[in-house]
Amino acid sequence: MAEKDVEICFKKETISRLLSSFFNEDRTKLSGDATLLMAEMLKIFVQEAAVRSQKQAESEDCDQVDIEHFEKILPQLVSSLTGSTKYSF
Amino acid sequence: RPLIDRLKAAVHYTVGRLCQKIGEDHRREFSRQVIAAIAETTFRQCDVFAKDLEAFARHAKRSTVNTEDVKLAARRSTALSIYIQNKSEELTQEQRDLKKKGTGKRKSRDTEEDSRE
């Protein structure tokens, strides 16, 4: 498979619709540039989650990255990015 | 609500691809369950971000969320803030370059993208 040929990213339209679906007010809109930046931000969120989960699996000598690895790193991940620790599985 | 399901599926797809790449780089596969969990968390995080963005825009008496709002949303992480700031500058520079070329074509904001996922 090609290495960095195709950069994996969230589609602009997906992010736009997604964020818009969560707005409280109908009149709230998202500028094009804001959408692009949010797509980047979410990509980083996912990559951080994945890399940290991977490292956790590595530290436990596991062959596969699984839910428990993700669960362990999740609180730290969320608080580092957003200052909140709301999530648990 | 089919739209939400399609959006969730789209998120899941991209999350899967990102995880696959990272898995390949580190030679450690991600289970289906963990990919689904990361996708679900990402989806929920969008709700958190969206509410913040809306609040920031409203505070500035705007109904359109712009890049300043996004930068605010990233404020808690220095690394993330710097990254977003750089990306924002890149975008601005691209737009300036396009204008200079005199094509008169701004980067389209509502590109009809091929959404075959």
* Closest chain A C-alpha to B117 CA, distance in angstroms: 10
- Bridge partners (DSSP) listed for residue B30: A65
Size of interface A-B (CB pairs under 8 A): 189
Residue B116: what pLDDT?
A: 43
Residues from chain B contacting residue A67 (CB–CB below 8 Å)? 31, 33-34, 37
pLDDT the model gives residue A10: 97
A18 to A7, A26, A64, B7, B14: CA distances (angstroms): 21, 14, 30, 6, 14
Contact residues on chain A for B88, CB-CB shorter than 8 A: 33, 37
Q: Which of B24, B67, B115 to mutate to test the interface with A (most CBs of A within 10 A)?
A: B67
pLDDT, one tens digit per residue, over A54-84 is: 999 999 999 999 999 999 999 999 888 765 5
ipTM higher than the 0.85 cut: yes
Q: How far are the Cα atoms of A24, B62, B95, B96, B98 from residue B10, in angstroms, in the given order? A: 22, 29, 28, 32, 30
- Residues of chain B contacting residue A23, judged by C-beta atoms under 8 Å apart: 50-51, 54
pLDDT digits (tens, 9 = 90+) for B22-81: 999 999 999 999 999 999 999 999 999 999 999 999 999 999 999 999 999 998 888 888
Q: B94-116, pLDDT tens digit by residue?
A: 888 888 877 655 555 444 444 44
Q: Where are the domains of chain A?
A: 49-81
